[in-house]
Amino acid sequence: MKRRRLAPEVLEARRNALRQQVREGRLTIGETVREMRKLTGLTQKDYAEKVVGIFPRVLMDIERGAANPTLETLEKLAKPWGWSIGFVPPPELRGTD
């Protein structure tokens, strides 16, 4: 079931805000995944099955912070956004290497 689509300018603003919050380390994995899904306008079931290719229950648990996703699952979650999974230094160490 699709949800109401956001206006393009609102969608872009929310995407930019999400990117910034992730860069700053202000969101958990679950919060990030939930916001990524909401920005698509899809339900958990549709996003899990049609976009990411995982079981809806797995997505639900990740969004609630009640799961310990594998690297493979994290990569599936990141791929639709063009993101990658890797080691990220804490904010105070970024740009010092």
In whole angstroms, give the CA distance from residue 22 to residue 40.
17
For position 93, what pLDDT does the model report? 75
Mean pLDDT by 10 residues, the chain (97 residues): 75 94 91 95 96 97 96 95 85 66
Contacts 24+ apart (CB under 8 A), 31-35: 31/65, 33/59, 33/62, 33/63, 33/77, 34/63
Tokens of residue 31, six digits: 């919060």
Torsion of CA 94, 76, 34, 17, to 10 degrees: 40
Q: Domain ranges in the chain? A: 29-82
CATH 3.50.50.60 corresponds to the domain 29-82: no
For position 48, what pLDDT does the model report? 97
For position 73, what pLDDT does the model report? 97
Within 10 A of 77 (CB to CB), how many other CB atoms are there? 26
